[in-house]
Amino acid sequence: MPASPGNVEIDGRRLRSERTRQYIIEAYLAVLRENPRVPTAVQIAERAGYSVRSLFERFPDLLALSLAAADHAFAQANAQAVIRSADADRATRIRTQVETRGRTCEQWLPLWRALTRNLHHSEELKVRVRRVREAVRLRLELMYRPELAAMEAVERQRTLIALEAITDFESWARMRETFTLSVEEAGAVWIRAIDRLLPPTPVS
Partner 1 sequence: MAEPAQSPAVDGRRLRSERTRRRIIEAYLALLSEDLRVPTSAQIAERAGYSVRSVFERFPDLLSLRIAATDHAFALGSAQAAVRNADGDRSTRIRSQVETRSRTCESWLPLWRALNANQGESAELKLRIRLARELIMKRLELMYRPELSVLDERARKHTLIALEALTDFESWARMRELYGLSIEQGCALWIRIVDRILPPTPAR
Query: Which of 64, 183, 189, 201 is close enough to bind partner 1 by CB under 8 A?
Result: 189
CB of 113 to partner 1, least distance (A): 9
Closer of 87 and 134 to partner 1 (Cβ): 134
Question: Which range in 18-26, 41-49, 79-87, 183-191 contacts partner 1 by CB under 8 A?
Answer: 183-191
Shortest gap between Cβ of 52 and partner 1 (angstroms)? 23
SS (H, E, C) 39-81: CCHHHHHHHHCCCHHHHHHHCCCHHHHHHHHHHHHHHHHHHHC
Of positions 161, 176, 201, 202, contacts partner 1 by CB under 8 A: 161
Provide the 3-class DSSP secondary structure of residue 195: helix
Residue 180 in the binding site for partner 1 (CB under 8 A): no
Question: If we measure between CA atoms, which residue out of 99, 95, 105, 89 comes closest to residue 169?
Answer: 105
Interface with partner 1 (CB under 8 A), residue from 84, 166, 183, 201: 166
- Region of residue 168 (phi > 0: left; psi between -120 and 50: alpha; otherwise: beta): beta
**Residues in contact with partner 1, total (CB under 8 A)?**
30
DSSP for residue 186: H
Site for partner 1 in 104-143 (CB under 8 A): 117, 119-120, 133
Half-sphere exposure of 116 (CA within 13 A, CB side): 15
In the complex, minimum distance from the CB of residue 115 to partner 1, in angstroms, rounded to a whole number: 12
Near partner 1 by CB under 8 A: residue from 168, 180, 203, 204:
168
- Which residue ranges make up the site for partner 1 (CB under 8 A)? 35-37, 117, 119-120, 133, 157-159, 161-162, 164-166, 168, 170-171, 174-175, 178-179, 181, 188-190, 192-193, 196-197
